[in-house]
């Protein structure tokens, strides 16, 4: 049995220009569902956050240490979720023309054994470099619990073996790619990597719990980490074995040395994928997926929505961050249970919370739609769609049609007194029609069947 698990939760409200979208039913459902999920999967501790409108819900379930409950304000390792920050920093340098994605890494870095200097920055970003992932070296995790503090050169010389494929041949995640990107950022800006990302993204103000281990925070200050150290199939608090992970974090550098809370991780997730940090053209590059791999981002799906994107990370701590364009929400889930298989548990919980919110939102939207009394037809449609109301008129309304990625395909302002016909040339697919009036919002999924 895992340590006794008790649910801890809170809701954090902060100022914003969007109407709050969290209600008591939703927060209660999130809290109950989080407890049920970790109890079912027998997880030591999980901390989660959901960003909706101008509200953030944060919740925890389970233990920090044997005698201490995990708290929402307790930081955990974010692992390779940090790659999303490193890639955003590279794109910022590309926006200011301080580098180009097609540049070779040899233009910025010294020669390293087992690393081809003709590899491009873009190949590092999208994991098509073929460079060996240092975490897969058979001796790496033995070294990760020593007292040594590593830098990039230590890691590359000690743990990077021969390439596993030729550059551009395929895609496979490698933490080494992002170690090198951190070194490129330092080379281009002539300032330490951490200083650049803090200045560029206003980390201290917007995401204050994001701190580098061990440069800014000791690993002993994080949530207690649990592993099965005595092979009895039960998790053990590693601090009781006098094990700490400063070496592990330092070795990950720009690929995973940051710790944070889910609250700040979910804020970062929303800001990044909502397009609040990078220019629109840059976002197109960032989200240019080959298969499910983009430039420091992965796409996925759930049982309820076709597209989510974000990242997961493992630094024995596990973390998952997702943005859902269809629902315009972000979710972050982190765990201190290192006995769980890779990121499976945090990914599972994140997707469950997404679908739970989708169900609650659908129920609320249907109730609101019925109250408004609008009708949308035909649906599915080909060349046009009607919006009508026999018993409702309240001045001008804004009508928008957007796709699952949030791109707007149609927008107009109309008086809906009887029927408004919208002529469209939308390609076949799923869209969302939103009508916003003075005191209501109406949303309905619509399907184009245009040949």
Indicate which CATH number applies to the domain containing 378. 2.60.40.3080
Task: Give the model's pLDDT for residue 440.
Answer: 67
In terms of phi and psi (left: phi > 0; alpha: psi -120 to 50; beta: otherwise), the region of 130 is left
Of 168-172, 356-360, 427-431, 445-449, least confident by mean pLDDT is 356-360
* pLDDT beyond 80 at 27: yes
Asked if residue 385 and residue 342 are part of one domain, the reply reads no
Mean pLDDT of 153-168: 97
Identify whether the C-beta of residue 30 lies closer than 8 Å to the C-beta of residue 57.
yes
The Cα 254–Cα 246 span in angstroms is 15
Domain limits for position 429: 373-448
The predicted-structure confidence for 65-96, as pLDDT tens digits, reads as follows 999 999 999 999 999 999 999 999 999 999 99
Provide the β-strand partners of residue 334.
47, 319
Mean pLDDT of 150-157: 95
Buried b (16+ CB within 10 A) or exposed e, 415-446: ebeeebebebebeeeebbbbbebeeeebbbeb
Work out the pLDDT band at 391, boundaries 50, 70, 90.
Answer: low
Q: Are strands 236-237 and 226-227 parallel, antiparallel or unpaired?
A: antiparallel
* pLDDT beyond 70 at 390: no
Work out the pLDDT band at 20, boundaries 50, 70, 90.
Answer: very low
Task: Give the model's pLDDT for residue 341.
Answer: 56
Asked if residue 348 and residue 389 are part of one domain, the reply reads no
Nearest to 446 by CA among 381, 384, 400, 386: 381
The predicted-structure confidence for 2-11, as pLDDT tens digits, reads as follows 443 433 333 3
Of 93-107, 329-343, 409-423, least confident by mean pLDDT is 409-423
Nearest to 354 by CA among 429, 269, 278, 431: 269
Identify whether the C-beta of residue 353 lies closer than 8 Å to the C-beta of residue 335.
no
The predicted-structure confidence for 220-229, as pLDDT tens digits, reads as follows 999 999 998 8
- Residue 228: what are its φ and ψ, rounded to 5°? -85, 95
The more confident residue out of 415 and 138 is 138
Average pLDDT along the chain: 87
Task: Give the model's pLDDT for residue 431.
Answer: 84
Work out the pLDDT band at 403, boundaries 50, 70, 90.
Answer: confident
Work out the pLDDT band at 421, boundaries 50, 70, 90.
Answer: confident
Nearest to 337 by CA among 202, 223, 437, 257: 223
Work out the pLDDT band at 443, boundaries 50, 70, 90.
Answer: confident
Q: Global pTM?
A: 0.80
The Cα 410–Cα 240 span in angstroms is 60
For residue 115, say if its preceding peptide bond is cis, omega within 30 degrees of 0: no
Mean pLDDT of 7-35: 58
Nearest to 324 by CA among 433, 432, 182: 432
The predicted-structure confidence for 187-217, as pLDDT tens digits, reads as follows 999 999 999 999 999 999 999 999 999 999 9
Asked if residue 175 and residue 136 are part of one domain, the reply reads yes
* pLDDT beyond 70 at 19: no
Task: Give the model's pLDDT for residue 46.
Answer: 94
Identify whether the C-beta of residue 300 lies closer than 8 Å to the C-beta of residue 322.
yes
What residues contact residue 41 under an 8 Å CB cut-off, 6+ apart? 340, 345, 348
Asked if residue 395 and residue 338 are part of one domain, the reply reads no
The predicted-structure confidence for 335-385, as pLDDT tens digits, reads as follows 999 986 556 789 999 999 998 887 777 555 545 555 566 788 898 999 899
Q: Please count the structural domains in the chain.
A: 2
For residue 378, say if its preceding peptide bond is cis, omega within 30 degrees of 0: yes
In a domain, residue 2? The reply is no
In a domain, residue 365? The reply is no
The predicted-structure confidence for 294-345, as pLDDT tens digits, reads as follows 999 999 988 888 889 999 999 999 999 999 988 889 999 999 999 865 567 8
Work out the pLDDT band at 14, boundaries 50, 70, 90.
Answer: very low
Asked if residue 355 and residue 377 are part of one domain, the reply reads no
Q: Give the position of tokens 């597209």.
A: 307
Point out the domain boundary residue: 359, 392, 414: 359
Angle between helix axes 24-41 and 344-372 (nearest 10 degrees) is 150
In a domain, residue 54? The reply is no
Asked if residue 416 and residue 292 are part of one domain, the reply reads no
Both tokens assigned to 67: 């005698």
Point out the domain boundary residue: 332, 359, 386: 359
Q: What distances in angstroms separate CA 67 from CA 4, 7, 20, 404, one per listed residue? A: 9, 14, 36, 44
Asked if residue 377 and residue 343 are part of one domain, the reply reads no
In a domain, residue 341? The reply is yes
Point out the domain boundary residue: 331, 359, 387: 359
Identify whether the C-beta of residue 295 lies closer than 8 Å to the C-beta of residue 285.
yes
202: DSSP letter: T
Asked if residue 401 and residue 266 are part of one domain, the reply reads no
Asked if residue 214 and residue 139 are part of one domain, the reply reads yes
Asked if residue 430 and residue 351 are part of one domain, the reply reads no
Task: Give the model's pLDDT for residue 9.
Answer: 39
Asked if residue 428 and residue 347 are part of one domain, the reply reads no
The Cα 49–Cα 268 span in angstroms is 12
In a domain, residue 235? The reply is yes
Q: Give the position of tokens 């061990």.
A: 214
Asked if residue 239 and residue 344 are part of one domain, the reply reads yes
* pLDDT beyond 70 at 162: yes
What residues contact residue 373 under an 8 Å CB cut-off, 6+ apart? 389, 390, 391, 392
Identify whether the C-beta of residue 37 lies closer than 8 Å to the C-beta of residue 23.
no
Task: Give the model's pLDDT for residue 37.
Answer: 76
């Amino acid at each position: 049995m895992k340590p006794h698990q008790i649910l801890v939760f809170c809701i954090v409200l902060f100022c914003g220009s969007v109407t709050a979208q969290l209600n008591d039913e939703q927060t209660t459902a999130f809290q109950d569902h989080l407890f049920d999920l970790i109890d079912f999967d027998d997880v030591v501790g999980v901390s989660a956050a959901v960003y909706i409108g101008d509200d953030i819900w944060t919740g925890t379930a389970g233990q920090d240490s044997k005698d201490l409950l995990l708290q929402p304000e307790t930081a955990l390792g974010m692992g390779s979720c940090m790659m999303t920050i490193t890639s955003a920093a590279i794109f910022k340098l590309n926006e200011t023309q301080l580098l180009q994605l097609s540049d070779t890494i040899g233009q910025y870095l010294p020669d390293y054994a087992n690393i081809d200097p003709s590899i491009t920055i873009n190949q590092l970003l999208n994991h098509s470099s073929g460079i060996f992932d240092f975490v897969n070296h058979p001796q790496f995790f033995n070294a990760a619990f020593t007292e040594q503090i590593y830098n990039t050169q230590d890691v590359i010389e000690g743990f990077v073996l021969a390439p596993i494929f030729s550059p551009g041949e395929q895609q496979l995640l490698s933490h080494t790619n992002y170690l090198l990107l951190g070194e490129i950022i330092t080379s281009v800006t002539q300032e330490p990597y951490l200083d650049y990302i803090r200045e560029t993204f206003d980390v201290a103000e917007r995401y204050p719990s994001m701190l580098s281990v061990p440069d800014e925070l000791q690993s002993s200050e994080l949530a207690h980490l649990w592993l099965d150290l005595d092979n009895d199939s039960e998790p053990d608090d590693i601090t009781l074995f006098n094990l700490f992970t400063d070496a592990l974090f330092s070795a990950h550098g720009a690929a995973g040395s940051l710790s944070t809370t889910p609250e700040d991780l979910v804020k970062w997730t929303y800001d990044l994928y909502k397009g609040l940090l990078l220019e629109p053209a840059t976002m197109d590059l960032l989200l240019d997926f080959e298969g499910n791999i983009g430039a420091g981002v992965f796409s996925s799906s759930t049982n309820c929505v076709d597209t989510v994107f974000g990242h997961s990370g493992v630094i024995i701590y596990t973390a998952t961050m997702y943005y859902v364009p269809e629902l315009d929400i972000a979710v972050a889930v982190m765990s201190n249970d290192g006995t769980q298989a890779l990121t499976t548990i945090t990914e599972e919980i994140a997707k469950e919370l997404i679908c739970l919110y989708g169900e609650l939102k659908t129920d609320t939207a249907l109730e609101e739609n019925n109250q408004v009394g609008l009708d949308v037809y035909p649906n599915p449609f080909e060349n046009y769609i009607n919006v009508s109301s026999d018993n409702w008129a309240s001045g001008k309304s804004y009508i928008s049609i957007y796709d699952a990625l949030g791109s707007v395909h149609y927008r107009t302002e109309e008086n809906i007194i009887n029927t408004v016909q919208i002529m469209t040339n939308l390609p076949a697919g799923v869209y969302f029609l939103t009508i916003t009036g003075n005191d209501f919002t109406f949303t309905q999924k619509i399907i184009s069947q245009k040949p």
